[in-house]
Amino acid sequence: MKVKNKKVAVIGAGRSGLSVAKLLLKRGAKVFLSEKESSIRNMKELLELKKYGVEYELGGHTDRVFNFTDFFVISPGVAPSIPIIQKARAKKVKIYSELEVASWFCRAPIIAVTGSNGKTTTTAIIDKIFSYSKMKSFTAGNIGYPFSDIVDETKEDMYVILEVSSFQLEGISRFRPYISIILNISPDHLDRYSSYNDYIDAKFRILENLNTDDYLIFNNEDKIITERIRKKEAIKIPFSLEKKFRTGAFKDRNYFKFYRDGLELTAINSKEVSLKGIHNEQNILASIATAKICDIENEYINTALKEFKGIEHRMEYVGEINGVKFINDSKATNIDSVYYALKSINPPIILIAGGKDKKSDLTKINELLKDKVKLLVLLGEAAERMEKEWKNLTECIIVDSFEEGVKKAWENSGEGDTIILSPACSSFDMFNNFEERGNRFKELFNSIKREI
């Protein structure tokens, strides 16, 4: 796609917005940045872009954006329902995501990972395998750097590994991965989408441009996925913990295996793999399938899986104080993530939950709360709804601040307990992102430890 001399409005001046603005500027576009907040964290970078001709506005989206209507680029954090985007649609302005725009300039085949849960872990495992194999690759997207940051460094003899969200997929047009991975589908972001079906539709846009030469790795145990992909053109590679395949990835007793046309190509002893948990076993199978499609040798897969311990903020063991374990699961931004977290921990548990309410169905973890959780510490926008749903299952406390929440959890804990931050919500009502929330949890742990 030629963008030279095109007039482009970028809506949202977060990391993705600034990155795609820089990319478009390099390619000769005339760029206007519009941000609803009156100040941004990356002000220095914005002022640097201004030197090179990027115009911008802060404190709200105005009609100035309509002086730049060859197309709009919408940042992932910007809801498509906001008035300026609705007005743009009415004016028939083309609207793309940063993911889409960056893909126009990508010379490398793309591996794209999506799903409601596990996509960051799976992307990180694939990245680890590639790094051990010495096969050239970049990892970007929802994990780490925006795609636009690295796309100019891509070459045909390498791979780009992307974690992609439903928000990013909303704005694609020609985005076409060589390997698409769909891990699972469960209700999420219902504060953004008008229905669960709309959310599912956004996720499955990853398949929109696939053809018969592209690969689709999918969870064979997820009925929504198997139904949706039935008529899609692609080379389909299933993975499962329950079923074996002539071509696909599966668990056979204690081994993770990959078969192609009935021939075993990989068998890795699960006891030698560092990452534990049923949900992680699915992530591992998807990663092994990806590696074998890319012809990576088993020794590199094996080494990577032995060494990979997990990602920060996902079931991250923080430490122990007086026999009380602290676990940082700040990345658990939906109810399914909390479900898997609670399943993997022995009781008694003190659960810190809450944040910006995603309007998800809270009942999925009811039995686990009743059986395993001795205290719920609830905070943020979702606290009252959570208390209403869960107050008859276990003891609940609503707190006014994150700091008070961690303090109450500690005060009510005893030897043998586990305090886990697993919010089931996004962090935007109290923090800039889940990383900031998780880091604050770890700071408060260290503060308690110093005081003992």
Q: Tell me: the pLDDT tens digits for 154-198?
A: 999 999 999 999 999 999 999 999 999 999 998 877 778 889 999
pLDDT, position 40: 78
pLDDT tier, 51 (very low <50, low <70, confident <90, very high otherwise) = confident
pLDDT, position 355: 94
d(CA 354, CA 429): 10
What are the helix and strand counts (H, E) for the chain?
16, 20
Nearest 5°: phi and psi at 231?
Answer: -105, 10
Task: List, for residues 61-74, the tens digit of each pLDDT value.
Answer: 999 999 999 999 99
Task: Judge contact between 183 and 115, C-beta under 8 A.
Answer: yes
**What's the mean per-residue pLDDT of the chain?**
94
- Whole-number percent of the chain with pLDDT over 70: 100
Task: List, for residues 96-106, the tens digit of each pLDDT value.
Answer: 999 999 999 99
Record the tokens describing residue 278, joined without a space. 């049923």
pLDDT tier, 429 (very low <50, low <70, confident <90, very high otherwise) = confident
d(CA 286, CA 284): 5
Task: Judge contact between 259 and 238, C-beta under 8 A.
Answer: no
Task: List, for residues 130-157, the tens digit of each pLDDT value.
Answer: 999 989 999 999 887 899 999 999 999 9
Mean pLDDT, residues 429-443: 92
Task: List, for residues 345-404, the tens digit of each pLDDT value.
Answer: 999 999 999 999 888 889 999 999 999 999 999 999 999 999 999 999 999 999 999 999
Record the tokens describing residue 144, joined without a space. 């780490």
Mean pLDDT, residues 319-324: 96
d(CA 249, CA 240): 7
Record the tokens describing residue 276, joined without a space. 């534990």
Show the domains of the chain with their CATH numbers. 7-93 (3.40.50.720), 100-307 (3.40.1190.10), 316-451 (3.90.190.20)
348 cis-preceded (ω within 30 degrees of 0):
yes
Task: Judge contact between 293 and 215, C-beta under 8 A.
Answer: yes
d(CA 120, CA 138): 14
Quick check: 52 pLDDT over 90? Answer: no
- Residue 349, classed as helix, strand or coil, is strand
Mean pLDDT, residues 293-318: 94
d(CA 186, CA 269): 29
The β-bridge partners of 161 are 111, 139
DSSP 426: B
pLDDT, position 49: 84
Kindly give, in sequence order, each residue whose CB lies less than 8 Å from that of residue 343, ignoring residues fewer than 6 positions away: 277, 278, 368
